[in-house]
């Protein structure tokens, strides 16, 4: 089924997954907070991604680099000079538009390599077709290059106003800056990978569509260092691995597709996106897979004066490795997984919503309920079972709020795969059912009677 973005945004807020940033002050465009259930899903995604890209691989190393970097980093990377979007302002209501996106909407490609003059020529030729999204007038300023780097002030760097310090425009630069240290300390044999989940900040002209385009984001990056010109085969393998990873998170294959870039960003030699069929937006970029050649290390070698060549023990050669990159915004990954899990059906004659999240991603793997909250003997037993599950490594919730039907609905909307109810039979009212519980399955609503030990084992095996 297709669901619209407003429904997703509303469910995400209602169930404590995602809140608008700074909401009590009227918000701050392009920022979101992950709530108690959201941070669990986010962390589970990170764990699964990290496992696939570090623990399940050989010769891959993790990193957590500082966000503040010497400003020369962003000159060398090309961001100070080239990391910009063409911006125009509506002269009637001051709304800002991204001219390349508006041109794309009327079927005109504004090449990333085009100068601002060339973009203005295209813009002028199509002004009659582009209306302001707010006031619908067609009276725009000229386009100008708007740099996306977010500037900060940090001690000495800004005291005379001459040298600004920037927040990271892309997380991966930390990996290039530490490349030498990793080679010296870990002695990796080429090809090898370095991975990081790090924050990035972009002064997006038009942040919109919930987590899809935000100003503060987190990027999960892998950088694979290879011998020059050995990019083709490795690139195909990496593309396939990333595709399969999304399937393993439960995303339906029909909602994914490949897109090869015709207009390459300044650092890329080849670039493919995995696109996801986002609610209300349709297919758009989920993850970028880039052949960055030797661009990054060559630039940093030139700007820093430090030799970043790799001494290949096998061939005796010294060269600047090429880099194959995968980069995905955690927000987009979260949105894709969340939206893909959204289901509506009818259960017991009532419409219901549930999240069919894979058990390893769900905020809770099980919820434990006492049938009635005003019966201390049921509550005590439910608490014992809850403690037992936790001890067994199950992420469990204890819920005694409202009637049992409401609790089921709540857990369905959070995506909890199993609910376990403790009733009077558990306590031995029917001696044959002593120490048994009701185990309810989220996706079907089916219930079965199992022993507590069986329930624990079932949960453990589902998780593993």
Helix, strand, or coil (residue 97):
strand
Which parts of 371-422 are beta strand (E)? 396-398, 418-422
Region of residue 428 (phi > 0: left; psi between -120 and 50: alpha; otherwise: beta): left
Contact window for ligand GAP (CB under 6 A) among 64-72, 137-145, 211-219, 244-252 = 211-219
Query: Edge-to-edge strands of the sheet including 366-370?
Result: 396-398, 366-370, 418-422, 436-441, 447-451
Least distance (Å) from ligand GAP to the CB of residue 173? 8
- Assess 285 for contact with ligand GAP (CB under 6 A): yes
- φ/ψ of residue 325, rounded to 5: -115, 140
Task: Name the residue nearer to ligand GAP (CB basis): 221 or 425.
Answer: 221
* Cβ neighbours of residue 390 closer than 8 Å, sequence gap 6 or more: 396
Please enumerate in sequence order all residues whose Cβ is within 8 A of that of 25, keeping only pairs 6 or more positions apart, or say none. Answer: none
The answer to whether residues 456 and 394 touch, using CB atoms and an 8 Å cutoff, is yes
Query: Per rule CB under 6 A, is residue 219 in the interface with ligand GAP?
Result: yes
- Site for ligand GAP contains 209 (CB under 6 A): no
Q: Which is nearer to ligand GAP, 175 or 394 (CB)?
A: 175
Between 268 and 361, CB nearer to ligand GAP: 268
* Least spacing, CB of residue 372 vs ligand GAP, in Å: 46
270 is a contact residue toward ligand GAP (CB under 6 A) = no
Q: Does the protein bind ligand GAP through residue 44 (CB under 6 A)?
A: no
Using CB under 6 A, pick the residue from 79, 180, 242, 332 that binds ligand GAP: 332
Distance CA 373, CA 381 (A): 11
To ligand GAP, the closest distance from the beta carbon of 290 in angstroms equals: 6
Structure tokens at 183: 């080679």
Which contiguous run of DSSP H or E holds residue 123? helix 116-126
Among 89, 100, 102, 204, binds ligand GAP (CB under 6 A): 204
Site string for ligand GAP, 159-198 (x = CB under 6 A): -----------x-x--------------------------
Mark the segment that binds ligand GAP (CB under 6 A) among 158-166, 282-290, 338-346, 428-436. Answer: 282-290
Does position 100 bind ligand GAP by CB under 6 A? no
Q: In this complex, which beta carbon is closest to ligand GAP, that of residue 96 or of residue 202?
A: 202
Residues in contact with 132: Cβ distance below 8 Å, sequence separation at least 6, in sequence order: 90, 92, 93, 95, 97, 138, 139, 140
Instruction: Give residue number: closest CB to ligand GAP.
Output: 329
Query: Considering the rule CB under 6 A, would residue 217 count as an interface residue with ligand GAP?
Result: yes
Q: Are 371 and 404 in contact (CB under 8 A)?
A: yes
CB of 313 to ligand GAP, least distance (A): 29
Instruction: Name the token pair of 303.
Output: 């700007």
How many residues bind ligand GAP, per CB under 6 A? 18
Considering the complex, state which of residue 75 and residue 400 has its C-beta at the smaller distance from ligand GAP.
Answer: 75
Contacts (Cβ under 8 Å, ≥6 apart) of 410: 15, 399, 401, 402
Stretch that binds ligand GAP, among 16-24, 256-264, 313-321, 326-334 (CB under 6 A): 326-334
Closer CB to ligand GAP, residue 249 or residue 426? 249
Burial (CB count within 10 angstroms: exposed 0-12, middle 13-18, buried 19+), residue 182: middle
Query: Which one of residues 15, 79, 96, 213 is an interface residue with ligand GAP (CB under 6 A)?
Result: 213
Check residue 337 for interaction with ligand GAP (CB under 6 A). no
**Residues 395-454 interacting with ligand GAP (rule: CB under 6 A):** none
Encoded one letter per residue, x for contact with ligand GAP by CB under 6 A and - for no contact, window 76-95 reads --------------------
CA distance 283 to 278: 6
Task: Give 222: exposed, middle or buried? Use CB within 10 Å, 0-12, 13-18, 19+.
Answer: buried
Binding test (CB under 6 A) with ligand GAP, winner from 198, 279, 288, 370:
288
CB of 293 to ligand GAP, least distance (A): 14
Query: Please, what's the b/e burial string for 366-390 (b: 16 or more CB within 10 A of its CB; e: otherwise)?
Result: bbbbbbbeebeebbebbeebbebbe
d(CA 362, CA 123) in angstroms, rounded, equals: 46
Select from 91-99, 182-190, 322-330, 392-400 the region that touches ligand GAP (CB under 6 A). 322-330
Q: Closest distance between ligand GAP and the C-beta of residue 458, in Å?
A: 36
Tokens matching residue 440: 């309810």
| 287 lies in the site for ligand GAP, by CB under 6 A | yes
Q: Which residues bind ligand GAP (CB under 6 A)?
A: 170, 172, 202, 204, 213-214, 217, 219, 285-288, 325, 327-329, 331-332
């Amino acid at each position: 089924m297709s669901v619209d973005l407003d429904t997703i945004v509303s469910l995400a807020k209602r169930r404590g997954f995602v809140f608008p940033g700074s909401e009590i002050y009227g918000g701050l465009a392009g920022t979101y907070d992950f709530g108690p259930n959201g941070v669990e899903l986010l962390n589970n995604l990170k764990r699964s991604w990290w496992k696939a890209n570090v623990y399940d691989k050989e010769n891959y190393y993790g990193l957590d680099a500082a966000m503040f970097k010497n400003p020369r980093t962003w000159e060398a990377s090309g961001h100070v000079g080239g990391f910009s979007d063409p911006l125009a302002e509506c002269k009637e209501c001051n709304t800002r538009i991204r001219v390349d996106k508006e041109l794309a909407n009327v079927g005109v490609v504004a090449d990333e390599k085009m100068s601002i003059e060339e973009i203005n020529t295209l813009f002028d030729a199509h002004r009659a077709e582009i209306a302001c999204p707010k006031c619908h007038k067609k009276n725009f300023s000229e386009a100008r290059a708007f740099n996306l780097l977010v500037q900060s002030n940090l001690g000495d760097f800004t005291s005379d106003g001459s040298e600004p310090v920037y927040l990271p425009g892309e997380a991966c630069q930390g990996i290039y800056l530490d490349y030498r240290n990793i080679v010296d300390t870990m002695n990796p044999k080429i090809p090898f990978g370095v991975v990081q989940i790090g924050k990035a900040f972009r002064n997006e002209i038009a942040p919109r569509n919930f987590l899809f385009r935000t100003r503060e984001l987190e990027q999960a990056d892998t950088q694979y260092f290879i011998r020059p010109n050995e990019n083709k085969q490795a690139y195909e393998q990496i593309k396939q691995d990333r595709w399969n990873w999304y399937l393993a998170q439960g995303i339906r294959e029909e909602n994914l597709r490949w897109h090869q870039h015709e207009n390459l960003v300044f650092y890329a030699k080849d670039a493919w996106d995995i696109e996801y069929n986002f609610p209300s937006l349709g297919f758009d970029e989920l993850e970028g897979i880039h052949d960055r050649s030797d661009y990054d290390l060559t630039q940093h070698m030139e700007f820093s004066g430090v030799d970043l060549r790799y001494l290949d023990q096998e061939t005796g050669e010294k060269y600047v490795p090429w880099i194959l990159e995968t980069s995905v915004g955690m927000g987009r990954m979260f949105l894709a997984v969340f939206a893909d899990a959204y289901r509506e059906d009818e259960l017991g004659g009532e419409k219901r919503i549930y999240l069919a999240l894979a058990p390893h991603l769900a905020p809770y793997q099980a919820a434990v309920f006492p049938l009635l909250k005003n019966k201390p003997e049921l509550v005590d037993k439910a608490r014992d079972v809850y403690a037992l599950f936790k001890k067994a490594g199950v992420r469990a919730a204890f819920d005694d709020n409202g009637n049992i039907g409401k609790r089921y609905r709540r857990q369905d909307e959070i995506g909890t795969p199993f609910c376990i109810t403790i009733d009077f039979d558990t306590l031995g009212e029917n001696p044959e059912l002593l120490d048994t519980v009701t185990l309810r399955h989220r996706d079907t609503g089916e219930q079965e009677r199992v022993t507590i030990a069986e329930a624990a084992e079932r949960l453990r095996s589902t998780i593993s």
